[in-house]
Amino acid sequence: MRSPEELTVAFRAAGLKVTPQRQLLFRLLHNNSTHPTADSLFGVASGLMPGISLRTVYQTLTELAQMGEIQSIEVGTGSQRFDPNVSDHHHAVCDECGAVHDVYVKRTPELAGLHGFAVTDAHIVYRGVCADCAGDAR
Amino acid sequence: MRSPEELTVAFRAAGLKVTPQRQLLFRLLHNNSTHPTADSLFGVASGLMPGISLRTVYQTLTELAQMGEIQSIEVGTGSQRFDPNVSDHHHAVCDECGAVHDVYVKRTPELAGLHGFAVTDAHIVYRGVCADCAGDAR
DNA sequence: ATGCGTCTTCGCAATGATTGAGAACAAATA
DNA sequence: TATTTGTTCTCAATCATTGCGAAGACGCAT
Ligand SMILES: [Mn+2]
Ligand SMILES: [Mn+2]
Ligand SMILES: [Zn+2]
Ligand SMILES: [Zn+2]
């Protein structure tokens, strides 16, 4: 996604208002590679802006997703995750710690056998144990 | 998954009872390639056995999944789907009609770049429009 | 066939994630 | 500063799924 400054301009240009809540979320999402859930973002946001509502977090995330600034992904962990990285990539989920890592694949396998299916998107979810969790014997 | 007859034996062998509800679900799942949700199965089951509860459907599906007879998959349609096909395969979801098709891929792309992540499973979800929906101009 | 112990079913409440609705509020602009 | 219009927040509602416990039924031993 674009920088908070660029988003500020983009929002105004789109007739949307730039509120403190939105600006905070712009900042929390910028360069964020943790693939946060709405609730985890709400947790961090609440610490910095007591009183911000979970509803507002959801709404802002939905808007950003509709504008194409972030993507919403589903990796099987129960709740939606949001990703400011909108480049073409996939994800690896650690079954130990729940971390979601970005994965870049050379060539996504083509669909074979399913004649007539027009693919618009393909998403690979890897599951396993991440380096951090494997490294430590505990 | 195995046939209803085989499952009957397997359940008894595991100390589980073979009830009419379970037998019905065994039959509804056998050779079922629709990737049903618990609720859609419940709908069909209710027609054949009025009074069966959604709770029982969920419970039986969970048991079958734990026994490895079916798998539970998440393709981003909001609810879990159950698949008696436990072979190594992937899925294509039609954004028009919601149908979920099986996809067999020659070689699942290896994880590159994420050093130390031990992959235990990889699942590809393709999205697009299926042949049926594309073919008909309506 | 009957009895009994254990496993199951079912209804209902509870949970967790997300969305809907509307009153109170605040950003943008003149 | 006043006005307009979009935003935030609270609270209720929804959807999928799970927890709980009383009532019921399977299956084995008589
Ligand atoms: Mn990502
Ligand atoms: Mn399948
Ligand atoms: Zn980990
Ligand atoms: Zn279709």
Q: Which amino acid is present at B118?
A: A
Which ligand minimizes its atom distance to the CA of B93?
Answer: 4
Task: State how far the alpha carbon of B68 is from the alpha carbons of A39, A49, B10, B87, in Å.
Answer: 33, 47, 12, 11
Asked whether residue A44 falls in the same domain as residue A101, the answer is no
Is the same domain home to A66 and A102?
no
Say how many domains are in chain A. 2
| Residues A123, A102 contacting (CB under 8 angstroms) | no
The whole-model pTM stands at 0.93
- Reference B11, options B60, B71, B74; nearest CA is B60
Last residue of a domain, one of A63, A82, A101: A82
B residues 88-107 closer than 8 Å to A (CB)? 92, 94-95, 101-107
Q: Are residues A75 and A91 in the same domain?
A: no
> Same domain, yes or no, for A61 and A100?
no
Residues B9 and B60 in one domain: yes
From the list A45, A122, A116, A134, the residue with the least C-alpha distance to A89 is A122
A100 and A51 housed in the same domain: no
Asked if B59 and B12 sit in the same domain, the reply is yes
Do residue A70 and residue A98 come from a single domain? Answer: no
- CATH code for the domain in which residue A128 is found: 3.30.1490.190
Q: Say if the Cβ atoms of B128 and A135 lie within 8 Å.
A: no
Contact criterion met (CB < 8 Å) for B119 and A131? no
Show Cβ contacts of residue A108 under 8 Å, excluding neighbours closer than 6 positions. Answer: A122, A124, B109, B124
Reduce the DSSP state of residue B94 to 3 states and report it: strand
Query: Do residues A40 and A78 share a domain?
Result: yes
- Chain B residues with CB-CB distance to A130 below 8 A: 114, 116-117
Q: Which residues pair with A73 in a beta bridge?
A: A81
Mean pLDDT of chain A: 94
Q: pLDDT tens digit string along A85-119?
A: 999 999 999 999 999 999 999 888 888 778 899 99
Please tell me which residue of chain A has the smallest CA distance to B114: A103
CA–C1' nearest nucleotide, residue B53: C10
Same domain, yes or no: A34 and A65: yes
Q: Which residues of A touch B103 (CB under 8 A)?
A: 111-114
- Which residue, B82, B97, B117, sits at the end of a domain? B82
pLDDT, mean of each 10-residue run, chain B (138 residues)? 97 97 98 98 98 98 98 95 97 95 89 87 95 76
pLDDT of residue B136: 61
For A35, the enclosing helix (H) or strand (E) is none
A21 touches strand C (CB under 7 A): no
Same domain, B55 and B75: yes
Check residue B93 and give its pLDDT.
Answer: 96
**Which helix (H) or strand (E) is A27 found in, with range?**
helix A20-29
CA-to-CA distance for B22 and B76, rounded, in angstroms?
Answer: 27
Q: What CATH number should be reported for the domain holding residue B78? A: 1.10.10.10
Q: Are residues B77 and B20 in the same domain?
A: yes
| Domain of residue A131, residue span | 87-135
The dihedrals phi and psi of A82, each to the nearest 5 degrees, come to -115, 140
Q: How many Å apart are CA A69 and CA A11, to the nearest integer?
A: 11
